[in-house]
């Protein structure tokens, strides 16, 4: 099979397309023909030697989002059958080898793709939907009638979080460039802030929850808009346990949680149900064949993507 292999950490042009043997599933595992592999910011951070690079040995195959068709099942795997379409977040944060024509996945981490969902949309879904779900429901315990500020609301996790918050009947404030405000309104954002020209902390009333996809200075400023007892869920791992953020949160009487997403087949089944009903829609901004993996990474690194980028092996 073909795979996009990373011989060393570096820029997007470091990838090489190589021929490697098709793997075989062990007990509880599935061999999946990869139809689409979603790309996330953690992918290019890992490629550069940051992100989850500590879990990889070189040469490596990146990627965790997988949608595909089952080719073979390992001993004891009984939830699915060959021919079934499945999707999930595979092995995160350990290597999952998604940038390849075939991949081995754990049965318990995957769910069936709804019949009305295309492969590229399914491949784009797992990490962002699981992240947004865990952030809003597990950590923030978002409730109807609350107010939430979602940073980078047009991005991968952001556009999912907006929809989950909308389905929870909350008041949503989203930051994005002005050109994306119409899109945010379509998603259900009540109030849009242009992060280029507006200081969000000076332009919005206090909120119960902040979803922080930026970290650093944005995280510090976000604490100023939280109500006492409110919570900020922060995603960027590079800023985990930032002492300045922790000190300010204590001063303000608010909580901060840094989270790392976990694979879950059961939760993917809930995501699949929402996608099938149209209550959750994943936007694929661009798709690339495997041989153009460098272009795919470069597109995502521009930070001008609405939604997701996927590879089509």
Has residue 304 got a pLDDT over 80?
A: no
pLDDT score recorded for residue 83: 97
Q: Identify the three-state secondary structure at position 221.
A: helix
Q: What is the pLDDT of residues 229-285, one digit of tens each?
A: 999 999 987 778 889 999 999 999 999 999 999 999 999 999 999 999 999 999 999
What mean pLDDT comes out for the span 171-175?
97
Domains of the chain listed by start with CATH number: 2-125+282-312 (3.90.180.10), 128-258 (3.40.50.720)
Q: What angle do CA 255, 260, 261 make, to 5 degrees?
A: 120
CA 22, 89, 118, 313 dihedral sign is negative
d(CA 284, CA 301): 15
Which pLDDT does position 199 carry in this prediction?
Answer: 85
Tens digit of pLDDT for each residue in 73-112?
999 999 999 999 999 999 999 999 999 999 999 999 999 9
Report whether 125 contacts 157 (CB < 8 A).
Answer: no
Q: How confident is the model at residue 20 (pLDDT cuts 50, 70, 90)?
A: very high
Q: How far is CA 150 from CA 7, 121, 202, 218, 221, in A?
A: 37, 22, 16, 12, 13
User: What percent of the chain has pLDDT above 90?
Assistant: 90
Using CA atoms, how far apart are residues 247 and 219, in angstroms rounded to an integer? 12
According to the model, what pLDDT value does residue 238 have?
A: 73
Where is 128: in which H helix or E strand? Answer: helix 126-133
**pLDDT, position 237:** 74
Per-residue DSSP letter, 289: E
The confidence score (pLDDT) of residue 201 equals 87
- Cα separation, 64 vs 219, whole angstroms: 27
CA distance 39 to 292: 13
This prediction's pTM: 0.94
pLDDT of 270 reads 97
User: Do 36 and 64 touch, CB atoms closer than 8 A?
Assistant: no
Average pLDDT, the chain: 95
How sure is the predictor about 303, in pLDDT bands with cuts at 50, 70 and 90?
confident
Q: Which of 177, 186, 189, 125 is nearest to 152 (CA)?
A: 177
Residues forming beta bridges with residue 255, ordered by sequence position = 231
Dist CA 88 CA 234 (whole Å): 23
Element (H, E) at 119: helix 119-124
Answer yes or no: are the C-beta atoms of 163 and 279 closer than 8 Å. yes
Asked if residue 87 lies in contact with residue 39, where contact means CB atoms within 8 angstroms, the answer is: no
Q: Write down the residue that tokens 């999952």 correspond to.
A: 96
């Amino acid at each position: 099979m073909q795979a996009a292999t990373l011989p060393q950490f570096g820029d997007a042009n470091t990838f090489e397309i190589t021929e490697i043997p098709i793997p075989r599933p062990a007990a509880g595992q599935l061999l999946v023909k990869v139809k689409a592999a979603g790309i996330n910011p953690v992918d290019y951070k890992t490629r550069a030697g940051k992100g989850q690079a500590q879990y990889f040995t070189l040469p490596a195959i990146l990627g965790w989002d997988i949608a595909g068709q089952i080719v073979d099942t390992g001993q004891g795997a009984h939830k699915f059958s060959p021919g079934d379409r499945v999707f999930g977040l595979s092995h995160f944060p350990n290597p999952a080898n998604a940038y390849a024509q075939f991949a081995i996945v754990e049965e318990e981490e995957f769910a069936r793709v709804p019949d009305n969902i295309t492969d590229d949309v399914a491949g784009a879904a797992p990490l962002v939907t699981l992240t947004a779900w865990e952030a809003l429901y597990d950590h923030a315990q978002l409730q109807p009638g609350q107010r939430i500020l979602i940073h980078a609301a047009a991005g991968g996790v952001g556009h999912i979080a907006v929809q989950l918050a909308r389905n929870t009947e909350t008041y949503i404030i989203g930051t994005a460039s002005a050109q994306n405000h119409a899109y945010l309104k379509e998603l259900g954002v009540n109030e849009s802030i242009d992060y280029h020209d507006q200081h969000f902390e000076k332009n919005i009333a206090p909120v119960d929850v902040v979803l922080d996809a930026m970290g650093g200075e944005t995280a510090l400023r976000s604490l100023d808009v939280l109500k006492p007892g409110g919570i900020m869920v922060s995603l960027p791992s590079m800023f985990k346990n930032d002492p300045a953020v922790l000190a300010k949160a204590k001063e303000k009487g608010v909580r901060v949680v840094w989270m790392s997403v976990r694979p879950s087949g059961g939760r993917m089944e809930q995501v699949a149900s929402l996608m099938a009903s149209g209550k959750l829609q994943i936007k694929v901004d661009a798709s690339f064949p495997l041989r153009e993996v460098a272009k795919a990474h470069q597109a995502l690194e521009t930070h001008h993507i609405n939604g997701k980028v996927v590879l089509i092996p």
